[in-house]
Amino acid sequence: MIFLDNASTTRLSGRAAENLLHYSTTDFYNPSASYYAGFQNAKQIMETKALLAKHLNVKFNNNIIFTGSATEATNLAIFGSVRTSWKKAVFSAGEHPSVYNSALQLKARGIEVVFVDLDKTGAIDLEKLEAALDEDVNFISIMHVSNETGAVNNLEKIAEIKAKKCPKALFHVDGVQAFGKVSTNLETFKPDFYTISAHKFHGPKGLGALYVKNPAKLLPIIHGGGQEYNLRSGTENLPAIMALKGALEECDAWQNQKLLKTLCIYFKTELKSRLNPEIPMKILEGEGFAPHIISISFVGLKGQVLQNMCDQKGLMISTGSACSSKKMGNRVLENIGYSKDEVLGNVRISFSRYTSKEDALEGAKILAECANELWRNTR
Ligand code: PLP
């Protein structure tokens, strides 16, 4: 089987798997316990946070909160910040459902919510963003890398615009698809919140983390025993946190970037050389895209059928985001201006450092064969 759906989830790294087992079976003690072994585990969690802070280039100062998923982390950033005095919140139209649907909840509470359109590349339209921002804005959320297209938002520029138009607004960045693949140096855009998800970079599923610049201003959305500085109660998921530590120790964004870029080139070259040239194909590519995601539309074919055909031949790919694959259409691609046929013919290919060159080449071959066959059979 060839797995080219790494934007949906990734395989555990070796050290992550070792830690998951070790901290479930040997050093499994509750980190909140007041005996030595519990205390040692609490110390390990702190060290993991400090390591994560290093990857984000922020000073570690009790400002990283572990959650049960990135979805929970984005919800904590939004609903832990919202106040009855809020007037307006601004989001990119490309946000993942965890942010997008939270924005709709804010709207239901009577807050003015603006979704700023994307440009042709899938990044937020900076002119429209500037026009949407004013002194009334309390909160902005813009993803770092699109899970649908791989488009990278220019966060430095966005931070500049924000500083000019609404310096007091809180700024959340969903970094789930960015972490470990592009630079996540938060110093360059100084967000108030940054969300990551462990399972997207060879850590375990069911663990998210939220960087919070100013934890004193955040309120919890889950109440209980007061773990995570009282901001996320519930016994810490020690095995997952330690697995995340293992994944972090093995994560080198710069090395990944080089490797993933090469895999993308192999894949695209092989696909183009094998695909029937009559099939109209639209690929989002060029500068400004993350190295691990390729969004391809085979115009006139059905992405869903292609996905099934590939699956039968041992290739796993996605038709857009896994979270929205049950729904017809694709709000993000539609916002970029894709035609109905471009949306219907869209598939997403995504790599990880565990993808081999052979997998990329064989995957491209299978996809091209399936597209050629479907094209022949439907003409
Ligand atoms: N944000 C983005 C951009 C994602 O791609 C995903 C998952 O696909 C999430 C948030 C949610 O992550 P989690 O699965 O940890 O809830």
Tokens (6 digits) for 264? 């993308």
One domain, residues 266 and 354: yes
**Ligand 1 pocket test target in 10, 148, 177 with most atoms within 8 Å of CB:** 177
Q: In terms of domains, do 219 and 273 share one?
A: no
Whether 243 and 292 share a structural domain: no
Task: Tell me which residue of 348, 342, 249 sits closest to 299, measured CA to CA.
Answer: 342
> Is a pLDDT exceeding 70 seen at residue 111?
yes
Domain identity same for 330 and 185: no
Q: What is the pLDDT of residue 314?
A: 98
- Burial of residue 108 (CB within 10 Å: 0-12, 13-18, 19+) is exposed
Residue 141 has pLDDT above 50, yes or no: yes
> 27: pLDDT confidence band, cut at 50, 70 and 90?
very high
Question: Which residue from 176, 182, 352 has its CB within 8 A of the most atoms of ligand 1, so it is best to mutate?
Answer: 176
Q: What is the CATH number of the domain that holds 346?
A: 3.90.1150.10
Identify whether residues 200 and 311 lie together within a single domain.
Answer: no
pLDDT at 320: 61
Q: List the end-to-end C-alpha distance of the chain, in Å, as a whole number.
A: 30
Whether residue 362 is predicted with pLDDT greater than 90 in this model: the reply is yes
What CA–CA distance (Å, rounded) separates 217 from 11?
Answer: 36
Same domain, 125 and 245: yes
What separation in angstroms does the CA of 152 have from each of 158, 188, 361? Answer: 12, 15, 25
**Domain identity same for 97 and 148:** yes
Q: Which of 232, 249, 266 is the last residue of a domain?
A: 249
Confidence of residue 379 (pLDDT cuts 50, 70, 90): confident
223 and 264: one domain?
no
Residue with tokens 């470990």: 180
Place of tokens 């003690």: 29
Domain closes at, from 202, 234, 249: 249
Are residue 80 and residue 198 in the same domain, yes or no? yes
Looking from the CA of residue 69, the nearest atom of ligand 1 is: 15
What residue numbers bound the domain in which 290 lies? 2-9+252-378
Tell me whether residue 323 is one of the annotated catalytic residues.
yes
**DSSP, res 61:** S
At 286, is the pLDDT very low, low, confident or very high (cuts 50, 70, 90)?
confident
Mean pLDDT on 283-297: 94
Please tell me the distance between residue 336's alpha carbon and the centre of ligand 1 in angstroms.
Answer: 20
Catalytic residue among 166, 310, 323, 370: 323
How close is the Cα of 338 to the center of ligand 1, in Å?
A: 23
Residue that terminates a domain, selected from 249, 272, 290 = 249
- Ligand 1 site residues (CB inside 6 A) read 69-71, 96, 98, 143, 147, 174, 176-177, 197, 208, 323
Q: Ligand 1, residue 146: give the atom nearest the CA.
A: 3
- Residue 321, pLDDT score: 40
Q: What is the mean pLDDT of residues 157-168?
A: 98
For residue 327, is pLDDT > 80? no
Residue 185 CA to residue 147 CA, distance in Å, equals 19
**How high does pLDDT run on average in the chain?**
96
Residue 18 and residue 118 in one domain: yes
350 Cβ contact list (under 8 Å, min separation 6): 4, 5, 6, 7, 8, 150, 292, 293, 294, 318
What is the arithmetic mean of pLDDT over 72-99? 98
CA atoms within 13 A on the CB side of 124: 31
- Number of domains forming the structure of the chain: 2
Residues with Cβ within 8 Å of 17's Cβ and at least 6 positions away in sequence, in order, are 243, 246
Query: Do 330 and 281 fall into the same domain?
Result: yes
Task: Give the position, in ligand 1's atom list, of the atom nearest the Cα of 207.
Answer: 15
Q: How confident is the model at residue 329 (pLDDT cuts 50, 70, 90)?
A: confident
For residue 272, how far is its CA from the centre of ligand 1 (angstroms)?
Answer: 30
Q: Tokens at residue 203, please? A: 């850590």
Instruction: Report the predicted TM-score, pTM, of the whole model to 2 decimal places.
Output: 0.97
CA distances (Å), origin 302, targets 5, 141, 152, 312, 315: 18, 32, 27, 16, 16
Given a cut of 80, whether residue 322 has pLDDT beyond it is no
For position 138, which CATH number holds?
Answer: 3.40.640.10
**pLDDT greater than 60 at residue 174:** yes
- Strand ranges inside the chain, DSSP E: 2-3, 64-67, 88-92, 112-116, 137-141, 170-174, 193-197, 208-212, 281-283, 293-298, 315-316, 346-350
Q: Which carries the bigger pLDDT value, residue 329 or residue 206?
A: 206
Instruction: Report pLDDT for 201.
Output: 98
Q: Which is the closest atom of ligand 1 to the Cα of 70? A: 15
**Mean pLDDT, range 103-129, rounded to an integer:** 97
- For the cut 50, the answer to whether the pLDDT of residue 191 exceeds it is yes
pLDDT at 328 over 70: no
Same domain, 260 and 233: no
Query: 6: CA distance to ligand 1 center in Å?
Result: 12
pLDDT grade, residue 326 (50/70/90)? low
The count of C-alpha atoms lying within 13 angstroms of the C-alpha of 6, restricted to the half-sphere facing its C-beta, is 30
Does the pLDDT at position 352 exceed 90?
yes
